[in-house]
Chains A and B, each alone.
Chain A
Amino acid sequence: MRAIEPWVVAPLDRFMGESAARLALLMTTSGQVLAQHGFVGALDLMSAAALGSGIVASSSELALQMQWPAFRVMAHQGEHQAHLLTWFETPRGRWIALVVFGGETKVGLVQMYLEQMVDELVAATPPEPLHKKEVLAADFERELNASLRALFGR
């Protein structure tokens, strides 16, 4: 398991243990990866984050166009494994979770432990610094590299 913010690790770790899910990815609505468990390649992870955030954005827009309440959870049941995509609010904005699981667990159980993880994440979120630093190109590159190191250990 790897996470950009250390306070995400414990709730995600508990979620993985209790839900018996195979893979999990936490990201922002813009597709920035915050934490992952089980992904082995950078490419897989970045594609999954881009697709996941794209699906949430397009389904939210579809709901808006149809004047429905926004879809909260999307689950796709495959033959050997399933995935669940959901979004939730945190003090740091809206986050997206993508969870892949197999026959060793159930979508209801994954959803239940996911709700628990969201509560834990919200409770564990440290307050944001009062004065945010101006984002410079050099800082951005350094932070991006630091994030990649944190997520893939390189």
Chain B
Amino acid sequence: MSDYAPLLDALTRLRGIRGAMVVTLGDGLPVAESLMGGLKGTALAAMAATLASRSADLAARGGLGAPRFLHLQSSDGSLLVAPAAPDLVLVAIAGRDVPLGLLRLEMLRMAERMG
């Protein structure tokens, strides 16, 4: 877990980030997490991994190749998922007023480092 802690800390230091996690894609279990109180890591990990794998299926069926980034925009914030090392995804939960471009860049850079 400690291997990913500095990465998650760097991500959660960005303004408006409520939490970040490294999750196994196959099992939907958290490998490392840094979450604000009130966020339930196991549930988020399970749902984010399901979303990522279903999106990968959808992209494959549409002949789009493997997804590089997922952004689920909701009324009070965003869930962002970046495929990282084989069978791992980097997940971030952001509030409404977050520089999403910067966050996306940062997550892609981290995902590349994890791979």
Give chain A's interface residues, CB within 8 Å of chain B.
Answer: 77, 105-109, 111-112, 115
Contact A107 B43 (CB under 8 A): no
Nearest CB on A from B71, distance (A): 21
Nearest CB on B from A111, distance (A): 7
Count residues on chain B whose CB falls below 8 Å from chain A CBs: 15
Q: Which residue of B lies closest to A113 (CB)?
A: B46
Nearest CB on B from A66, distance (A): 22
Nearest CB on A from B34, distance (A): 18
B99 within 8 A of A: no
Nearest CB on B from A93, distance (A): 25
Number of A-B contacts (CB under 8 A): 34
Q: Which residue of B lies closest to A75 (CB)?
A: B27
CA distance A107 to B43 in the complex (A): 11
Nearest CB on B from A115, distance (A): 8
Give chain B's interface residues, CB within 8 Å of chain A.
Answer: 23-24, 26-30, 42-43, 45-47, 49-50, 53
CA distance A112 to B23 in the complex (A): 14
Nearest CB on B from A101, distance (A): 11
CA distance A111 to B29 in the complex (A): 9
Instruction: Report chain B residues within 8 Å CB of A105.
Output: 50
CA distance A111 to B47 in the complex (A): 11
Instruction: Report chain A residues within 8 Å CB of B24.
Output: 108
**What would 14 A/B residue contacts be, using CB atoms closer than 8 Å?**
A77-B27, A106-B26, A106-B28, A106-B46, A106-B50, A108-B27, A108-B42, A108-B46, A109-B28, A109-B46, A109-B49, A111-B42, A112-B42, A112-B43
Nearest CB on B from A78, distance (A): 13
CA distance A108 to B23 in the complex (A): 10
Instruction: Report chain B residues within 8 Å CB of A106.
Output: 26-28, 46, 49-50, 53
CA distance A109 to B52 in the complex (A): 13
Instruction: Report chain B residues within 8 Å CB of A115.
Output: 42
Q: Which residue of A lies closest to B43 (CB)?
A: A112
Instruction: Report chain B residues within 8 Å CB of A112.
Output: 42-43, 46-47
Instruction: Report chain A residues within 8 Å CB of B53.
Output: 106
CA distance A99 to B47 in the complex (A): 19
Q: Which residue of A lies closest to B41 (CB)?
A: A108
CA distance A29 to B29 in the complex (A): 27
CA distance A106 to B48 in the complex (A): 11
